[in-house]
Structure 1
Amino acid sequence: MKAADRHRAILDLVLTRDANVEQLSEALGVSEATVRRDLTMLAKERRLVRTYGGATALVGAHEPEASLEERKSAQREQKEAIAQAAALHVKDGDTVLLDGGTTCAALARHLSAHRDLHVVTNNLLAVMTLANVPGMRITLIGGDLRASSMSTLGPLAELVLSRLSVDIAFLGADGVAADFGLCEASAEQAYLKDCIIRRAASVVVLADADKLGRTRQQHWTPLERDWRLITTTLADEIRLAPFRALERVIVEVAPMGVE
């Protein structure tokens, strides 16, 4: 296992519970000396907290947000695979909510074949994709513009959501942790997702493999109901195991390279 993959696996394991060196060594199939070196490096990078004999998660650490252009270019193949899988859960006549973000924007491109859809969204990228689709009804959630994701949020967006309900909501996030929920860079983003979850009959989280177990932002939206996670085959079982262990979560792994 490469060092980068090993570090990701350690972070995923530590996120679910405090872990000691012996447990991590056994889970990863490497020596305890290797684990100790990895823990020391990860602690120096402020990605976890070193404890006596092991480590614990550094929940609440903050990293700079990527720009919109960086978001658009990152993990394009994964986003496309996730979008194709997500579109299969939409039925003609549904009211669908698309969250902000580039993965939900990718999903919008796969909705044009459906009939009699009502799309509710705060995602301006999705609106640009769907605006000229015949028969598509679009409700744009207003509010304050967040230019880094080309989405809206804030009190006005929350008010609109309180007057609506949807059949299925597709959510993105900066990170998804099995025991914590969705993490975001701002309290407004996290609370808007909470509003969405409360107004949806079913909830689907769209997350590429790199976002699983990621806890590098400071604001959280708990997922305390049944929900579906759609990721890709690039997510190994170490990353998926904490989600599979939760009865309320259905894990769906989308194949890569499907046209």
Structure 2
Amino acid sequence: MDSKKAERLKLIQQALQDQNAIHLKEMAALLDVSEMTLRRDLNHFSEHLRLLGGYITRVGTEASDYRVADQDTRHVEEKRRIGKLAARLVQPGDTVFFDCGTTSPFVIDFIPDELEFTAVCSSLNVLLKLQNKPNCHIVLCGGTFHRKNQVFESNAESSILDSVRLTWAFVTAAGVSQEFGVTCFNFNEVEVKQKVLRQAQQRVLLADFSKFDTVRTAHFATLQDFQYVVSDKKIPRVYKELIQASGAQLLV
């Protein structure tokens, strides 16, 4: 198997860690190949993958398992596209903070295995993804583990984040509002989010369209605190204008 096919196989398998199936058309677009090329690949990958009703699934997945809810599928697709865009920002030698949240692992998926970088994280879901990157040096912010959102929270006066200078901070949000700012569900995430926003040279907000015009419990930032916003093409126009007015760069 040539190196390009092997890389495509790996990316498909990573995508299927997060859901039971992915549409052939979507995966072809993410890999920048034609659907016909991807179909030919699947013939070579038949021990691992198969095509069911236009969806790529793992061998052994039951037909009933891959028909996920439409809303969930759309959000996964958009988070994956956000991850692909954000991953392009990371350069060799960078030190990157990956926030908790379901979008961050998709960024990690699209960072090339050969790229050498340092990753800082405070959540289990991100740590499990980072360990698959052989040239990544991982720094975990320790502390009390909260099972609900898989976050490690430190109550010490100083933490490892105080001594780290970040090239990039990829920060996730559960709500983005013109009036009420950028919010998340859990107060135990706020301190870390605010600290990395102070420590990072480049601050990036990751939010799909469903997060806009939404307000959650815990406020931690405003749109003006970010230099980049990575979203999808369904982001409401009013927020496109707000982001541009704030001086941030919108990537969709």
- TM-score after normalising by structure 1: 0.63
Match of 1:159 in 2: 159
1:90 & 1:218 partners in 2: Cα distance?
28
Deviation at 1:150, TM superposition (A): 1.6
Unaligned runs of 5+ in 1: 1-71, 254-259
2:213 & 2:123 partners in 1: Cα distance?
24
- Name the aligned partner's letter for residue 250 of structure 2: V
- The reply to whether residue 129 of structure 1 matches residue 129 of structure 2 is yes
- Name the aligned partner's letter for residue 170 of structure 1: F
Task: Report Cα offsets for 1:78-135 as digits up to 9, x if no partner.
Answer: 1000000000101011111101111011111122435221111112112112214322
Question: Are the equivalent residues in 1 in contact too, given 2:96–2:169 (CA < 8 A)?
Answer: yes
SS of 1:126 mapped into structure 2: helix
Question: Are the equivalent residues in 2 in contact too, given 1:180–1:220 (CA < 8 A)?
Answer: no
Percent sequence identity over aligned pairs? 24
Match of 2:12 in 1: none
Match of 2:142 in 1: 142
- The reply to whether residue 230 of structure 1 matches residue 230 of structure 2 is yes
Question: Are the equivalent residues in 1 in contact too, given 2:208–2:231 (CA < 8 A)?
Answer: yes
Give runs of aligned pairs for residues 178-189 of structure 1, distance below 5 A.
178=178, 180-189=180-189
Cα distance change on mapping 1:158 and 1:102 into 2, 3 Å: farther
2:186 & 2:132 partners in 1: Cα distance?
32
Which moves more between the two structures, 235-244 or 140-149? 235-244
- Name the aligned partner's letter for residue 205 of structure 1: L
Match of 2:251 in 1: 252
Cα distance change on mapping 1:153 and 1:217 into 2, 3 Å: same
Give runs of aligned pairs for residues 70-109 of structure 1, distance below 5 A.
75-109=75-109
Using CA pairs below 8 Å that are at least 6 residues apart, which structure has the higher relative contact order?
1
1:245 & 1:136 partners in 2: Cα distance?
36
Cα distance change on mapping 1:144 and 1:158 into 2, 3 Å: farther
1:74 & 1:143 partners in 2: Cα distance?
34
Deviation at 1:157, TM superposition (A): 9.5
- Name the aligned partner's letter for residue 252 of structure 1: L
Question: Are the equivalent residues in 1 in contact too, given 2:204–2:226 (CA < 8 A)?
Answer: no
Match of 1:67 in 2: none
Question: Are the equivalent residues in 2 in contact too, given 1:154–1:192 (CA < 8 A)?
Answer: no
Question: Are the equivalent residues in 2 in contact too, given 1:186–1:219 (CA < 8 A)?
Answer: no
SS of 1:232 mapped into structure 2: coil
SS of 2:103 mapped into structure 1: helix
Task: Report Cα offsets for 1:19-76 as digits up to 9, x if no partner.
Answer: xxxxxxxxxxxxxxxxxxxxxxxxxxxxxxxxxxxxxxxxxxxxxxxxxxxxx87710
2:80 & 2:86 partners in 1: Cα distance?
10
Give the aligned CA root-mean-square deviation in angstroms: 2.3
- The reply to whether residue 171 of structure 1 matches residue 171 of structure 2 is yes
Question: Are the equivalent residues in 1 in contact too, given 2:193–2:220 (CA < 8 A)?
Answer: no
1:184 & 1:234 partners in 2: Cα distance?
21
Give runs of aligned pairs for residues 199-214 of structure 1, distance below 5 A.
199-214=199-214
Match of 2:243 in 1: 243
Cα distance change on mapping 1:136 and 1:157 into 2, 3 Å: farther
Question: Are the equivalent residues in 2 in contact too, given 1:112–1:130 (CA < 8 A)?
Answer: no
Cα distance change on mapping 1:97 and 1:150 into 2, 3 Å: same
Cα distance change on mapping 1:88 and 1:114 into 2, 3 Å: farther
Match of 1:23 in 2: none
